[in-house]
């Protein structure tokens, strides 16, 4: 389970970075895609009892 948690946290961090880049560049479609990805990853984290906040912050 430790490996799963680490991978999920890495993916959350990647999605947050993707969101940051999309916002900085004004890419509204990219923002929506990144928010959708974050929503899915946050739901997966919650389903497995992993705190999304512990994984590096909020989606929005």
- Give 41-56 pLDDT, tens digit per residue: 999 999 999 887 654 4
Q: Is residue 7 part of a domain?
A: yes
- CA atoms of 56 and 42, how far apart (whole Å): 11
Are residues 15 and 55 in contact, defined by beta-carbon separation less than 8 angstroms? no
pLDDT at 33 (0 to 100): 98
Q: Is residue 29 part of a domain?
A: yes
Q: Is residue 17 part of a domain?
A: yes
pLDDT at 52 (0 to 100): 73
pLDDT at 51 (0 to 100): 85
* pLDDT bucket at 9, cuts 50 / 70 / 90: very high
Overall average pLDDT of the 4-18 stretch: 95
Q: Reply yes or no on whether the pLDDT at 60 is more than 50.
A: no
Give the residue numbers spanning the domain of 23: 2-55
How many domains would you assign to the chain? 1
In this structure, what DSSP letter does residue 42 have? H
Q: Is residue 60 part of a domain?
A: no
The model's pTM: 0.81
Tokens 């984290």 — which residue?
45
């Amino acid at each position: 389970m430790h490996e799963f948690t680490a991978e999920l946290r890495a993916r959350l961090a990647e999605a947050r970075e993707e969101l940051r880049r999309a916002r900085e560049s004004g890419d509204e479609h990219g923002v929506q895609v990144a928010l959708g990805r974050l929503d899915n990853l946050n739901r997966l984290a919650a389903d497995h009892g992993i705190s999304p906040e512990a994984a590096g912050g909020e989606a929005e």
